[in-house]
Amino acid sequence: MSRWIQDGDNVDLTNERKKATFDTERMSAWIHGGAEVLKRRREILAFVKSVDDFNDPVPVEFLSREERILNNARKVVAMTGNTDQIDGSDFFGEGMYYQALTMGRDLHAMSLHYVMFIPTLQGQTDDDQLDEWLTKAISRAVIGTYAQTELGHGTNLSKLETTATYDPATEEFVLNSPTITAAKWWPGGLGKSSNYAVVVAQLYTKGECKGPHPFIVQLRDDETHIPLKGIRLGDIGPKLGINGNDNGFMLFDKVRIPRNALLMRYAKVKPDGTYVAPAHSKLGYGTMVFVRSIMIKDQSTQLAAAATIATRYAAVRRQGEISPGKGEVQIIDYQTQQFRVFPQMARAFAFMAAATEIRNLYMTVTEQLTHGNTELLAELHVLSSGLKSVVSWDTAQGIEQCRLACGGHGYSQASGFPEIFGYAVGGCTYEGENIVMLLQVARFLMKAAEGVKKGTANLADIGAYIGKTGGKTSRLTTHHHYTDKDLIEDLEHVARKQVFRAYDRLKKAQDHLRPEDAWNSVSVELAKASRWHVRLYLVKNFLNKVSLAPQDLKFVLTDVARLYAYDIITSSIGAFLEDGYMTSQQINEVKEGLYECLAKLRPNAVSLVDSWDYDDKELKSVLGRRDGNVYPALLEWAQNSQLNKTEVLPSYHKYLGPMMKDARSKL
Amino acid sequence: MSRWIQDGDNVDLTNERKKATFDTERMSAWIHGGAEVLKRRREILAFVKSVDDFNDPVPVEFLSREERILNNARKVVAMTGNTDQIDGSDFFGEGMYYQALTMGRDLHAMSLHYVMFIPTLQGQTDDDQLDEWLTKAISRAVIGTYAQTELGHGTNLSKLETTATYDPATEEFVLNSPTITAAKWWPGGLGKSSNYAVVVAQLYTKGECKGPHPFIVQLRDDETHIPLKGIRLGDIGPKLGINGNDNGFMLFDKVRIPRNALLMRYAKVKPDGTYVAPAHSKLGYGTMVFVRSIMIKDQSTQLAAAATIATRYAAVRRQGEISPGKGEVQIIDYQTQQFRVFPQMARAFAFMAAATEIRNLYMTVTEQLTHGNTELLAELHVLSSGLKSVVSWDTAQGIEQCRLACGGHGYSQASGFPEIFGYAVGGCTYEGENIVMLLQVARFLMKAAEGVKKGTANLADIGAYIGKTGGKTSRLTTHHHYTDKDLIEDLEHVARKQVFRAYDRLKKAQDHLRPEDAWNSVSVELAKASRWHVRLYLVKNFLNKVSLAPQDLKFVLTDVARLYAYDIITSSIGAFLEDGYMTSQQINEVKEGLYECLAKLRPNAVSLVDSWDYDDKELKSVLGRRDGNVYPALLEWAQNSQLNKTEVLPSYHKYLGPMMKDARSKL
């Protein structure tokens, strides 16, 4: 008996757990940052399990949207009312875990209150505003959201249409939505829950547009919660996921707000309408970088959940015979199954390692910013944008692979996959559309390439490879002798090559096109360069983290890290073969290495996913249950179906029954 | 003014339509098989629009499952009650179109009745049974489904657990579910709608198991619709898609059914329990091959819908500036956007071309089978299995790319994508899990390879390339001079190479492993060989179809077909570079060809998707509307949200309001 092996468990799953060649508990501690962190996770789990308000009446997939909203409101009040149970300063760790346990994958009425509204107040208010608003926000006297995106405008902030026109006569701004496309659209919690918002609008004063600025605006009456005059609010309807949240729309009809509604830490408008520009235009980026940094952790957690479900289910599910007469085999024994699922597990590990790094970098930058030091801000911006894009895409793809690997039952909401996918895949679009993000990274890469060409490059660690002169051929002999160093150099070669391919094409295009058109004409190649840049970072960072792991964990982590790297290489063979950098024989070696990793990971797979320390409360998957008793649980789960409340449905009485009766009467 | 250009349309979309260099109406006729077919489509559309019962009260995404089931029941009775409006013999054409228009992407209570139940009766009953059951089924006196898959058993039929034990004393079979994993699970319409089913169970007689056989079984009382004694039925709960269908579970507790419930066209059980084996074991495959053949058409229709939405929206949506000061551009002008969306359009064209072929082949095989001729059955089986796998996977991926290309609004159910994806992606799993399908194709390929090695191969057209000796290098010089013949030979080279790579590995593995383990150890390579085999077929078939197109359509179709082929090559560069078959320079030529296709297709893109002839009634997408008036329509659509029925939700009164009030009182 242990945390993972208990009486009554599915026998196959128990056998898997007994086979592991490492200590699951020690691996969990390594993953989560030490035994103490692990202990705290379990305290938080025990607390959440002890509070009735955190229980769902039935699995949430059986609730209507109205019911989900109500259920979530109860939980979020309980969750935010018990924050003394966690270390509030550790949002990346305890905060996110606590929220995942209590709220699942549905966000809630106060998601943006905590992730966007409060950080914006902290970052953008002057001291007087901070006193007033932060107090109200933190005490939960108001619920705020962040209203920037409009129906017709997303990534390109400069074209937002909502206007805030200053009227010096009354010392007020007039908020207005001049068109339908100006409607605020998407903000979480805006439709029904929030009564305040930071609204981003084009600031007009003295007849001039000063660009988009943030304003704090009351939306609904404090007592009745009815929208204030001139403000039209509503829910934007059902989505692919996150349907327990009331993402909303908002239209302003000449709504007057006081001058000090403008958040004035940086830009200011004086009573007479004089505009004072901010000293440093980049300081406003803090919130977005914060959210993107969190996203890496969040996405890796979703992918790991998917890999946990698929791996456990593959150990439980038996289908087909390999040796005739010996009975059906666990599907995890099929190479094709391993090839589908294990790389997703490896990716999740790699992304978690990156999440730790980006958190550390974010902390450093935040600390520096308080001293006005913006040295690392650009690097964090580039890295978080690139990681956000690559990680969210690979995560969505990986979740879908895990779902498909579970066959028909993966399609049922009992699997948890539809919720996990719906939740995670939003990350490809929000907080900066992925392709746009990659093209931002490409700006940095093209500057770096230019610097290298001109001999003026001064590249920090993450971009140093662009200035290196690598070998003309890979040093790989056999995969057993393929060192981390050689592997990284091979990836560096490919990344560098793509950077300069894009650069050369760009330069060539600039000969006959205007700069913007030239950029557009090579943008597919530019995005590719950015992807290689990020992948290289992910592999380097993961290999480095593994090299520092304790000896008893390192051997299995090495299999994981190698699988991650080999999967990248064998998925893009062409990039390595080009110009004879690798031979077909070398590629075959990498493939053999990959197949060997699959075979070596096979006996450790279940314990590896156990190490992530998901409780069933967090995983919310019938297929991925710790105990492996999947089939009785599926039958039990299905009993909750709305359709099973009545033996004979109205559809029979009203339509199908009369149709058949009529036909029988004519036979 | 024309079918596609009307007053009040979005100006950008109208301009796109005016730019087309071909006649949309002529293209539509070519796609759908002639002007007469197009005329019939429009008659069917007009009929469907004229019938009130086919209208949804609100867009179906706002309905609960109970409401969807009820709504669908009304529509399906109307649909099946008006089949005189269509040519019932043309299921691939008029039948599928009529169903798509009336039922959307939700299936319905009688989906399996028509697609599985009736075809099984037609294929498996003896003459007496046929008289009785087909009459009842066709007249709609019963609703039948097809219950094969079990909770614990999918693809591997031989291990189904449901038993049908013959009792000669009463001349009855006893149906029983000995375990929970024996529960029938997934059949469409089984949970609540059907009152009859073909049940597949292990036939036991005289103490011996004769394997799985089909039985016709009454499930519910004709009058009350209550399940018969010993039968437990229910809905299996919500899924990723198709939630207007009551996929069900069923457990038997020693239910007695008459001897002639066994469908006895092939196998029989005599009154004394003597078992008579079928003469030809493969004849039972007909239904599955039929469904897989339909699927190719169905999947291509879904992908085309997604490409239509993404293409039109990309013409309507403006974001970002390419030339500063010239205003925001249509996002279709971004190369990255074209690169995301246009290949999906090209795939849809290629898959439609394959769907036509497979339909013709299916018709031929069916005709042959009535004469006992099984010559082409194996080929149809291999081709339909392989196409089903590749097409459903590429379709799901393609739909998701189209969705992501629409940014945030793609995530809203207003886009239609969540329904389209949820519906289409099921095809990766049902009717034979995709990887299993690919490995079946690989059996055929390995036999062919063996035949070539031994000089005994007798390969029909589709596999002939396996026995050919191709050149050692590609003949490609520049993409402007890249002939269809050369292109196909390059793909043949890669496909053949992968077939023999897998074959050689398999032989090598057989040296030291038992055959089944050897097969498993190379199964990733085997699946890859099957994919190339199918892709080669798809390209060849598409290029061939385009080469026969009328001159005024051929030039733009050539761009489409080339884009399809170039996308395949540039997505797998490694396969072409290996062993120096192509040079990096040649790969660059293909890339240049691809970028050129994107640019050439740009002005024709909207009219190309128009040519598929989707009416808004079928497309069901706010983003993809014919008139392009996306933004007002989004705002209008959102008003239907369940949450907008009340200005202040119970979640405020019960939880959020008291929380804020309490906090304010303490400030």
Distance set, CA B88 to CA A133, B26, B93, B296, B370 (Å): 68, 26, 9, 20, 20
Domain of residue A343, CATH code: 1.20.140.10
Element holding A445 (H helix, E strand): helix A434-454
Chain A residues in contact with B181 (beta carbon < 8 A): 631
My answer on whether A370 and A307 are in the same domain is: yes
Sheet with A184-185, side-by-side order of all strands = A184-185, A248-252, A231-235
Tokens linked to A203? 């600031």
Minimal CA separation from A368 to chain B, in Å: 32
Minimal CA separation from A324 to chain B, in Å: 9
| Higher pLDDT among residues A68 and B378, named by residue | A68
Final residue of a structural domain among A390, A414, A432: A432
**What integer best gives the mean pLDDT of chain A?**
95
CA triplet B505, B507, B510: central angle to 5 degrees?
Answer: 105
CA gap A307, A402 in Å, rounded: 6
SS3 B318: strand
Residue B178 belongs to some domain of the structure: yes
pLDDT, residue B1, reads 61
Is A573's pLDDT higher than 70?
yes
Cβ contact, residue pair A322, B410, below 8 Å: no
What is the DSSP secondary structure assignment for residue A134, as one 8-state letter? I
Number of CB pairs, chain A paired with chain B, less than 8 A apart: 383
Final residue of a structural domain among A432, A458, A476: A432
Q: Which of A164, A162, A129, A172 is nearest to A259 (CA)?
A: A172
Q: How many CA atoms, within 13 angstroms, populate the side-chain half-sphere of residue B566?
A: 28
Cβ contact, residue pair B234, A639, below 8 Å: yes
Chain A interface mutation, best of B10, B12, B60, B66, highest count of A Cβ atoms under 10 Å = B66
Q: What is the pLDDT of residues A321-357, one digit of tens each?
A: 877 788 899 999 999 999 999 999 999 999 999 999 9
Q: CB of A410 within 8 A of CB of A318?
A: no
Place of tokens 């055929």: B444
CA gap B601, A263 in Å, rounded: 47
pLDDT, residue A481, reads 96
Q: What is the pLDDT of residues A211-245, one digit of tens each?
A: 999 999 999 999 999 999 999 999 999 999 999 99
Residue A135 belongs to some domain of the structure: no
pLDDT, residue A283, reads 54
Q: CB of A145 within 8 A of CB of A197?
A: yes
Bridge-based pairing state of the strands B172-176 and B255-258 = antiparallel
Minimal CA separation from A372 to chain B, in Å: 31
pLDDT, residue A123, reads 86
My answer on whether A274 and A289 are in the same domain is: no
Distance set, CA B411 to CA A390, A419, A429, B421 (Å): 19, 14, 9, 11
Which residue among B418, B520, B638 sits closest to A334, beta carbon to beta carbon?
B520
My answer on whether A270 and A312 are in the same domain is: no
CA gap A599, A255 in Å, rounded: 65
Q: What is the pLDDT of residues B527-543, one digit of tens each?
A: 999 999 999 999 999 99
Minimal CA separation from A552 to chain B, in Å: 29
My answer on whether A339 and A239 are in the same domain is: no
Minimal CA separation from B234 to chain A, in Å: 6
Question: How many other CB atoms are there within 10 angstroms of residue B82's CB atom?
Answer: 16
Residue A396 belongs to some domain of the structure: yes
Question: Which residue in chain A has the smallest CA separation from B319?
Answer: A156
Cβ contact, residue pair B631, A579, below 8 Å: no
**Sign of the Cα pseudo-torsion (A520, A525, A530, A533, in order):** negative
pLDDT, residue B525, reads 96
Place of tokens 């996203």: A295
Is A461's pLDDT higher than 80?
no
My answer on whether A290 and A274 are in the same domain is: no
Q: Which of B634, B411, B639, B657 is nearest to A193 (CA)?
A: B657
CA triplet A120, A124, A128: central angle to 5 degrees?
Answer: 115
CA gap A657, B222 in Å, rounded: 9
Chain A residues in contact with B159 (beta carbon < 8 A): 319, 328
Chain A interface mutation, best of B113, B177, B223, B655, highest count of A Cβ atoms under 10 Å = B655
Residue B199 belongs to some domain of the structure: yes
Q: Which of B438, B430, B356, B432 is nearest to B390 (CA)?
A: B438
My answer on whether A307 and A356 are in the same domain is: yes
Residues of A known to be catalytic: 431
Phi/psi region, residue B22 (left: phi>0; alpha: psi -120 to 50; beta: rest), is beta
Chain A interface mutation, best of B54, B316, B443, B651, highest count of A Cβ atoms under 10 Å = B651
**Can you tell me the mean pLDDT for A80-94?**
93
Q: CB of A191 within 8 A of CB of A236?
A: yes
Cβ contact, residue pair A641, B235, below 8 Å: yes
Cβ contact, residue pair B651, A109, below 8 Å: yes
Residue B515 belongs to some domain of the structure: no
Cβ contact, residue pair A239, B655, below 8 Å: no
| Residues of chain B where predicted confidence (pLDDT) is lower than 70 | 1, 280-287
Chain B residues in contact with A523 (beta carbon < 8 A): 334-336
Q: CB of A162 within 8 A of CB of A248?
A: no
Which residues, other chains included, contact B551 with Cβ-Cβ below 8 Å and sequence gap of 6+? none
CA gap B303, B403 in Å, rounded: 11
Annotate A282-303 with DSSP letters as a single string.
Answer: GGGGHHHHHHHHHHHHHHHHHH
Residue A527 belongs to some domain of the structure: no
Q: What is the largest CA-CA distance in chain B?
A: 91
Chain B residues in contact with A404 (beta carbon < 8 A): 428-429, 434
Final residue of a structural domain among A225, A254, A279: A279
Annotate B355-368 with DSSP letters as a single string.
Answer: HHHHHHHHHHHHHH
Tokens linked to B667? 């400030």
Cβ contact, residue pair B655, A74, below 8 Å: yes
Q: How confident is the model at residue A287 (pLDDT cuts 50, 70, 90)?
A: low
Tokens linked to A182? 């100006």
CA gap B395, A22 in Å, rounded: 41
Chain A residues in contact with B574 (beta carbon < 8 A): 572-577, 587
Annotate A485-527 with DSSP letters as a single string.
Answer: HHHHHHHHHHHHHHHHHHHHHHHHHHHHS-HHHHHHHTHHHHH
Chain A residues in contact with B249 (beta carbon < 8 A): 635, 638
CA gap A229, A373 in Å, rounded: 43
Is A358's pLDDT higher than 80?
yes
Domain of residue A215, CATH code: 2.40.110.10
My answer on whether A149 and A232 are in the same domain is: yes
Residue B349 belongs to some domain of the structure: no
Minimal CA separation from A66 to chain B, in Å: 6
Q: CB of A348 within 8 A of CB of A300?
A: yes
Helices and strands (H, E) in chain A, number of each type: 26, 11
Chain B residues in contact with A655 (beta carbon < 8 A): 70, 73-74, 76-77
**Sign of the Cα pseudo-torsion (A444, A448, A450, A454, in order):** positive
Question: Which residue in chain A has the smallest CA separation from B141?
Answer: A660
Q: Which of A452, A397, A560 is nearest to A22 (CA)?
A: A560
Question: Which residue in chain A has the smallest CA separation from B74?
Answer: A655
Question: How many other CB atoms are there within 10 angstroms of residue A209's CB atom?
Answer: 12
What's the domain count of chain A? 2
Q: Which of B238, B237, B244 is nearest to B74 (CA)?
A: B244
The one-letter amino acid code at A427 reads G
CA gap B581, B570 in Å, rounded: 14
Which residues, other chains included, contact B381 with Cβ-Cβ below 8 Å and sequence gap of 6+? B285, B289
Q: CB of A573 within 8 A of CB of A39?
A: no
Q: Which of A125, A520, A7 is nearest to B333 (CA)?
A: A520
Q: Which structural domain, as residue segments, surrounds residue A186? A: 141-279
Chain A residues in contact with B234 (beta carbon < 8 A): 638-639, 641, 643-644
SS3 A433: coil
My answer on whether A359 and A408 are in the same domain is: yes
Cβ contact, residue pair B319, A154, below 8 Å: yes
B431, B489, B589, B618: the catalytic one is B431
My answer on whether A178 and A255 are in the same domain is: yes
Residue B443 belongs to some domain of the structure: no
Question: How many other CB atoms are there within 10 angstroms of residue A258's CB atom?
Answer: 12
Euclidean distance between the first and the last CA atom of chain B, given in angstroms as a whole number: 65
Cβ contact, residue pair B527, A336, below 8 Å: yes
Which residue among A192, A516, A659 sits closest to B77, beta carbon to beta carbon?
A659
Cβ contact, residue pair A657, B225, below 8 Å: yes
